[in-house]
Chains A and B, each alone.
Chain A
Amino acid sequence: MALFEVHIPILDDIKEKGLIPTLKDTTDDVVERITSGLRIADVRSALRDDPPGRPNPRLKPHSEGFWLHMRPTYYNKLVDGVYPTFRLGWLSTFFFVVEIITGVFLMFYYTPSPLVAYENMLNILSNVPFGRLMRDLHKLGAEIMVAVVLLHMLRTFLTGSYKKPRQFTWITGIVLLGATLVLSFSGYLFPWDQLSLWAVTIGASMAEAAPPEVVGRTLNLIVRGAPEFGANGLLRFYLAHVVGLPLVAIIAFGVHYYKVILHGHSLPPDNEEVGVDTAKKVPMNTRTYFMPKILTRELYYVAILTAILVIWATFAFHAPLEPHADPLVTPLHTTAPWYFLWLQGLLKLGDKVIFGIVIPTIVTGVLFVFPYIEVGPSRRYGHRRIGLTAGVLSVAGFVILSYMGTPWYGVDTSPEQEAIATLLPQTHPGPIRLADWNELDIGTYEATNWEEAPSETLQELLHTFSEEISVAEYGTRTAWEGIMIVEDWQTSLKKITLRVLWIDSATGNPGEFSESEYIHQFSDYGQGE
């Protein structure tokens, strides 16, 4: 008598049906398990875009599978393509996933400590294969994601899709917008270079401005972990960026998308009767089924966007890495990231508390609350002229404020510093560092005699210099002159000194301002920094 029996079902099947049919059936079973309900024949029929037959097996992955459980089984034909939504919500999610993937890659090579952060960045860029690509993709994805999320909000506003019953969807959307902005802002700090430290310091200093003083100080300590950014601040921002905010975003996204599906995607306003939300009721003849049409389309979007992003990040877009953060040296004309330029512009208008705290809080409050205030029943453009005008004016306002946040508005620097900063800027390489090193001939040159400079590069640089000098105006100063000195300093190293001279017509005293920089032959600044 045998001690135990070995029972191998597949052998029984082979005995019963034969080898090939058994393998076919086993494969069919496996495919059905993986796809949660589609057998091989169903998969093939879906790929061929055949009519599905009843009962429709292509609905089973939605009802029985995890991955598609929240995706709708069909869309209304009117909203299944690029127009009218431009698929911006889908794009936001896509970029979030891109950020997670590239972000986790970068996490392997990064430690959030000011002592090693910059070194880690150098390591990623010079020692890790595909390190630069991953970093560039991460930065590119972040910038595009902020833009896409903002555009998605704009689209939702324009089509009135925040109205009943979708008000709370809008609220979770604003939460997601906030999470996206803070995610992008916190990530800015990690390279620990001059741009990181100072751009983020500008933003965080507004927390300090909150009245009363004890609240502002406490908020500042919570945000930065110390009176100024240092090890504590970097760690806090890292935890927020890597753990806290993704959690908030995923939860808010869950609620947001669930409600989108629950109420159905809103239709173009002209296709609905006023005050009636017909998004949930989709007649059979206006349906586009998820499988195969929408799924194929989405996979296609993924493929195309990945190609665009990878090609863009490989050949054109490169994230900058400026010199190491120095808390004692603020680069001239430092700005906040572009999505916070409007805040910087606001701050130039007056009191830090009113323009930095009160007004942004009001703006945020309005964004949160207006679906419950703007309760007109119609989503049609013709019935919402006031609201739409207000929206367009707000966008214009933000654009104007963003311009005001740039260094070209309201920044009072003396003309000699401006002139020198045009050639040797402190926030990016600038013309001299990007020029051909070999064409920077040794010598002393006057800006006004730029045409006589020995090389074309020098002529261009001196021409720019002389143009800046020629419009210089400051009090009683006259007789402005610009001089550029190029010295051979060391092996492959030149010293460039820019000097601006003037005479004060009131006292007759001469004055001068000069700045020197060293330029190495192989420093190769043209890498996008």
Chain B
Amino acid sequence: MKWHIALGIVSMVAVIDVLSGIAITEQDRMESYTDSYQSRQIEFGALLFENNCRSCHGPQGKGIESVGPAINAADLFNGDRLRSFDFTGTVEDYLKGVISAGRPIPSQGSTYPQRMPTWGAENGGPLRTDEIEALVLFTMNWEKVALAGEDGGTISPPSGDFIGTDITISLPPGDVDRGQDLSDGALGCSSCHVFSAVGPVWPSEGLAHAVGTRAVERIEQSDYNGNATSPEQYLIESVVLAELYVVEAFQAGVMPVYYSERITLQDMADLLAYMLSIP
């Protein structure tokens, strides 16, 4: 019995020691847990961004002309943007509010034809509060890079001869790779036509053909009301006269209408070459 008592006392002392050890390190542990949880939220936010936000704000948040503003931008994090409309909260507050509530009417002075959707569940949207927080944390993670000034701001239009709205115009020879770069980057076509299905998807999918082959079929359709007589003309028409003919099951007013005054002849030629090369 004596060793029962002795071992029992040793155990109690061990427990007290361990608990004291925990008491000393608990503050640090809790802080590091918070940090690691926020890091995981950033990962989660990245996934949510890819699935919900990329089609309008671009893959790296650099914005898409006439679709969505840049959020990976210095003016957001240094306060200029918030000051321009007298917002008095922090950047996190602003982001939380905008993502959760959306924008029922477009911001004053902006040229975005689509409104920012409502995402927060408390406002009727599809995302939970913790998902909104994840997106905010993910966006804030751009702060360092944005403030460092690497390509800040929404992509500005190139200068030069714009293509205009004449779809019969003859184009110079196009470069497929440059066309792909334009689509994935500055012009942002891939966000809606390759990486997501906001607009008709360019690559072939299941039984549907790629955009080049579909263009041939499209101009033969009975509901086609445009003026193209060849697939190339049809594709040019889709870009520069977006409102003329909208493919069935897609919404009008989503494809930006400014490309006739934003794309040069060479840009269009490269883009066309890329579109026709997609398998």
Contact = CB atoms under 8 A, between A and B. Distances in A.
A314 B39 contact: no
A133 B18 CA distance: 11
A522 B42 CA distance: 10
A395 to B, nearest CB: 32
Interface size band for A: 35 or more
Contact of A522 (B14, B21, B35, B50): B35
Given A126-B37, A311-B18, A522-B39, A304 B7 contact: yes
A122 interface: yes
A380 interface: no
Contacts of B245: none
Given A303-B11, A518-B47, A490 B142 contact: yes
Most chain B beta-carbon contacts within 10 A, residue among A122, A300, A311:
A300
Nearest to B9: A303
A292 to B, nearest CB: 7
Interface string A124-162: 011101101100000000000000000000000000000
Interface string B180-202: 00000000000000000000000
A118 B130 contact: yes
Given A490-B138, A522-B36, A523-B43, A130 B26 contact: yes
A307 interface: yes
A126 B128 CA distance: 21
Contact of A314 (B18, B30, B43, B130): B18
B249 interface: no
Contacts of B43: 493, 517-520, 523
Interface size band for B: 35 or more
B144 to A, nearest CB: 5
Contacts of B7: 300, 303-304
A495 B29 CA distance: 27
Interface string B1-45: 100110111011011001101110011011111111101101110
A449 interface: no
A133 B22 contact: yes
Given A118-B130, A311-B14, A304 B47 contact: no
A297 interface: yes
Interface in A481-515: 489-493, 495
A520 B19 CA distance: 32
A314 B8 contact: no
Contacts of B216: none
Nearest to B129: A115
B238 to A, nearest CB: 28
A517 B45 CA distance: 11
Interface string A296-317: 1101101110110011001000
Given A314-B22, A523-B43, A307 B37 contact: no
Nearest to A510: B279
A492 B47 CA distance: 15
B277 interface: no
Contact of B8 (A304, A310, A324, A522): A304
25 contacts: A115-B129, A122-B37, A126-B30, A126-B37, A129-B23, A132-B29, A296-B4, A299-B8, A300-B8, A300-B11, A303-B11, A303-B15, A306-B11, A306-B12, A310-B15, A324-B130, A491-B142, A491-B145, A493-B141, A517-B43, A518-B46, A518-B47, A520-B43, A523-B39, A523-B43
